[in-house]
Amino acid sequence: MIMRGFSPGVRQALWIDIPAALLLTLSTGLTVPFGGLILRRELGATAFQLSLMSAATGASLLLSLVWVRALRGRAPLPSLVWPSFVARGLFLLVPLVAGAWSFVGLSVLASVFGAAAGPAHAAVVERVYPRSERGRALGVVKMAGAALGIGVALGGGQLFERLDWRWIFPAAAVLGMAASLTQRRLRLTHGPATDGAAALGLAGAWAAVRDDRAFRRLLLAAFLFGAGCWIQTPAHPLLLVDVLGVSAAQVGVFAAVAALATLVGSPGWGWLVDRRSSLAALTLMYAIGAAAPLICFAARSPWALVGSSVADALAGVGLDLVWLLVVIDVAGPQRAPQYVAIGATLAGVRGIVGPLTGALLIHAAGVRAVYLVAAALEVAAAWLVARELRRPAGAKEAVAVAGAGGYTSGHMANATRLLALVLSLAWAPAALAGQSPTDQLREYTDQVVKVLDDASLRPQDRRAAVRKIAHEVFDVGETAKRALARHWQARNEAEREEFIQLFADLLERSYISRIDQYGGEKVRYVSETVDGDRAVVRARVVTKKGTEVPVESRLLQRGERWLIYDVLIENVSLIANYRAQFDKIIRTTSFDELVRRLKTRRDEFDSDLVSKPGS
């Protein structure tokens, strides 16, 4: 039943990904929940050793930029499979562990190889699952693993009470290696065969992030939340063993409860990402995550940790799923591996500083103080993302179906005027054969600006001149299809043609009509990424006041021409905004109602235009 909601290609991928997730659940369920307990109770690890292991694990993430360089020009699937295979296989050596230091060293090596798979994982996810189904598909994979994880956690706690842990870890390693090999069967059908790092490179990735203010703000929020997580790592084994006296069986119960929460949370996060936005899901995830350290701070009984286990599990599965989708959404086509690597590098920094800071807090103020500080950091992260969620509201309103005409605030007016400018610059005559995407945009930007700067033209003549060349390079059919997203498949040919025309009318009437608000803005091209038949051109629109606004054009190659299908202003996507509005209207009413509203908006605009003198 669950599979019926997906396209055939996604269903095929899920039949591979779900068994891999089940094997991985068996592996991690027998290791991760019990690692800290084994270190403290069986090997007598000190708070310093616990913090050092966590810090060294974080330090392994600093190699992410090295791994993304190694990924350049390579197929991402082998770069996902083999590092993870080695990372999981290292626990075959656990029977040789002689003390805390050797266990720590083995764990750190596993983390180094595990981190190598991070950038490749983003590229694989992007190319296996289309955006409209990505959140739900990953949620189903997580849900399958969580369902099995409930039994594994309960059985694992009893297993560690009866068997030597030195043999449980190698058995888990074999299962983890099998999970890696299972993923070799995945087919990468969405996107080019080579990775975007080949064109962009690390320097270009850093430059893109430097110009990407929205991603920088998200990185700050992620840094705060991650710091809150990392400073707890040396405190948790001490809380379990020294403060609350938790047994291995109780740890198994906590893990089972966490698996149950993951089972519920996985599809929930996927639904929220697909139906709302990845940023909305990230805000909620950070807020839920902040509850876990507050519960630990107040806990006086081992069973109080059931609540923190639920919060941790919901935040954990959200962190795995939501942050990856946030990065993919923000990065755009082919930049996700680089952005993941940069995010992981900063995670490595906090992974070093966090545990050591936690150890200092334990020494200075006790175990519980760590959890209070962690909660404060994670609440701050949720607040920052909530602000980011509200930040582009003006730009979103600028493309509203029912509100494209008439604005009172300066911010809304500026957003509308800027988008009108960008679309006008995009809708230019076709490029000559052999031109690069940037060459195409630069050449015809000059021509359109010349029209806009011609003071001798009346407004209606200026609009007519731009309208005449508008349909040459903007692939409005592709834009309409992506804006309708999953609802496109349910439409017949006549409905699709009507929708494309109505959508084209909406764009033209909303933005081409506003080109007379052009205020002398100039365009400075920054960089481009070309991968097969896809391209991204990044530019800065410079106002007369010197303010620079990042703009990104996304293009597809059609024959000998490059056609624009999406435009992002400060990471606010034209398609994403319309998609959210269309989806909400269809879900709450019907597709026919959406068509009716588009027709009404068209008729209202035409009436306004007729009533204005000189129009």
pLDDT tens-digit map of 47-102? 777 777 767 666 676 666 667 666 666 778 888 899 899 999 999 999 998 888 88
CA dist 563 and 472 (Å) reads: 8
Per-residue CA distances from 322 to 3, 264, 366, 375, 581 (Å):
21, 15, 33, 20, 21
Residue 535 β-bridge partners: 530, 555
Candidates 339, 42, 255; CA nearest to 163 is: 42
As separate numbers, helices (DSSP H) first and strands (DSSP E) second, the chain gives 25, 5
CA dist 234 and 371 (Å) reads: 11
Helix intervals (H) in 41-193:
47-60, 64-71, 76-89, 100-116, 118-128, 131-162, 165-182
Q: Kindly give the parts of the chain with pLDDT less than 70.
A: 1-4, 54, 56-59, 61-66, 68-73, 131-132, 189-212, 270, 273-277, 320, 328-338, 340-341, 389-434, 444, 446-448, 451-453, 459-460, 462-473, 510-520, 570-571, 605-615
Per-residue CA distances from 440 to 68, 336, 550 (Å):
30, 25, 19
Task: With beta carbons less than 8 A apart as the criterion, state whether 325 and 195 touch.
Answer: no
Ramachandran quadrant class, 245 (left: phi over 0; alpha: psi -120 to 50; beta: rest): left
Spans of all domains in the chain: 2-391, 395-611
The CB-side HSE value for 504 (13 A sphere, CA atoms) comes to: 16
CA dist 146 and 29 (Å) reads: 10
The CB-side HSE value for 240 (13 A sphere, CA atoms) comes to: 27
Tokens coding 311: 């919060």
Per-residue CA distances from 333 to 123, 496, 529, 535 (Å):
10, 25, 9, 8
Q: In the prediction, which pLDDT does 189 show?
A: 67
Q: In the prediction, which pLDDT does 60 show?
A: 72
Candidates 3, 248, 19; CA nearest to 148 is: 19
Task: With beta carbons less than 8 A apart as the criterion, state whether 117 and 79 touch.
Answer: yes
Q: Which long-range contacts (CB under 8 A, 24 or more apart) does 476-480 make?
A: 476/500, 476/503, 476/504, 476/507, 478/556, 478/563, 478/565, 479/503, 479/507, 479/565, 479/566, 479/574, 479/575, 480/504
Residues 6+ away with beta carbon under 8 Å from 570: 213, 214, 392, 395, 549, 550
CA dihedral 374, 375, 376, 379 (to 10 degrees): 130
Q: What would the CATH number be for the domain defined by 2-391?
A: 1.20.1250.20
Candidates 448, 443, 446; CA nearest to 465 is: 448
Q: In the prediction, which pLDDT does 254 show?
A: 84
CA dihedral 243, 246, 251, 254 (to 10 degrees): -70
Answer yes or no: pTM beyond 0.85. no
Instruction: Fold for 395-611, please state it.
Output: Nuclear Transport Factor 2; Chain: A, (3.10.450)
Helix intervals (H) in 129-164:
131-162
Q: In the prediction, which pLDDT does 495 show?
A: 92
Task: With beta carbons less than 8 A apart as the criterion, state whether 317 and 265 touch.
Answer: yes
The CB-side HSE value for 433 (13 A sphere, CA atoms) comes to: 2
Q: Which long-range contacts (CB under 8 A, 24 or more apart) does 412-419 make?
A: 413/517, 415/569, 416/511, 416/514, 416/517, 417/514, 417/517, 417/518, 417/519, 418/521, 418/541, 418/549, 418/569, 419/395, 419/511, 419/567, 419/569, 419/574
Tokens coding 217: 């703000």
Tokens coding 160: 């560690």
Ramachandran quadrant class, 474 (left: phi over 0; alpha: psi -120 to 50; beta: rest): beta
Residue 247: CB atoms within 10 Å? 16
**Domain 395-611 in the same topology as domain 2-391:** no
Cα-Cα-Cα-Cα dihedral sign, residues 247, 252, 254, 255: positive
Candidates 152, 175, 108; CA nearest to 253 is: 152
Q: In the prediction, which pLDDT does 90 show?
A: 92
* DSSP letter string, 394-462: HHHHHT-SS--S---SHHHHHHHHHHHHHHHHHS-PPPPTT--HHHHHHHHHHHHHHHHH-TTS-HHHH
